[in-house]
Chains A and B, each alone.
Chain A
Amino acid sequence: EVHLVESGGGLVQPGGSLSLSCAASGFTFSDHPMHWVRQAPGKGLEYVSAISSDGGNIYYANSVKGRFTISRDNSKNTLYLQMGSLRAEDMAVYYCARSWRHAYDHWGQGTLVTVSS
């Protein structure tokens, strides 16, 4: 059974940094592109970033480009998101999601990032 478990969320001040992780199990992690998707409180889903199965291709939404860094360690079956220069509008539940046929077929439970002074 596929499992995605995010961790690393918490309270951070505006301008601060935070690092998220997503531990994957139950499938061959290195076979799948992985994405981060976020959801601000009471709002809709927003694509954040994506990384190809081998890590060679990386993509970002314009809203986070230059501030966030996605990476993966296929030997540890783990996806990462390093977030910097955090703003109030970055406050959200962050989900990692497995990409399959240009859709997200499995999601983690999410980790909450709160940006506040």
Chain B
Amino acid sequence: QSALTQPPSASGSPGQSVTISCTGTSSDIGGYNYVSWYQQHPGKAPKLMIHEVNKRPSGVPDRFSGSKSGNTASLTVSGLQAEDEADYYCNSYAGTNNLRVFGGGTKLTVL
């Protein structure tokens, strides 16, 4: 399985917005509306932030939003806060052969 492609880093100042992209293929992101995003702070387990492309689990601030166009999904963090500094990973369902595939991760820095 090939990993989804994410930029290794992203940054923004407090209060700004930042968008992280995640590019796959028609066999994963483009083929299903099952993209999810995870936030991981150092030494901690990942936390689900977005599921099914653009749905937020309860408790996740509405500053976090997701979208998809073709084979590329995006996570936007608006009104950046210091606690948003973390690694972010995208994930997609990839069919019954490959099942799931992750992106390589993006380190978000709040300047």
Contact = CB atoms under 8 A, between A and B. Distances in A.
A35 B46 CA distance: 14
Nearest to A110: B45
A47 B57 contact: no
B53 to A, nearest CB: 10
A26 interface: no
B46 A107 contact: yes
Contacts of A102: 32, 34, 36, 51-52, 93
B69 interface: no
A44 B104 contact: yes
A106 B45 CA distance: 9
A109 B102 CA distance: 19
A103 B66 CA distance: 14
A67 to B, nearest CB: 16
B36 A47 contact: no
Contacts of A106: 48
A45 B105 contact: yes
B14 to A, nearest CB: 26
A interface, how many residues as a size bin?
20 to 34
Candidate in A45, A50, A62, A105 with the most chain B CB atoms within 10 angstroms: A45
B51 A103 contact: yes
Contacts of B91: 45, 47, 103-104
A95 B100 contact: no
A109 B45 contact: yes
Given A45-B38, A61-B99, A101-B52, 16 more contacts: A44-B87, A44-B102, A45-B46, A45-B89, A50-B100, A59-B99, A95-B45, A100-B51, A101-B34, A102-B32, A102-B93, A103-B51, A103-B52, A104-B38, A107-B47, A110-B45
Interface of B: 1, 3, 32, 34, 36, 38, 40, 45-48, 51-52, 55, 57, 87, 89, 91, 93, 96, 98-105
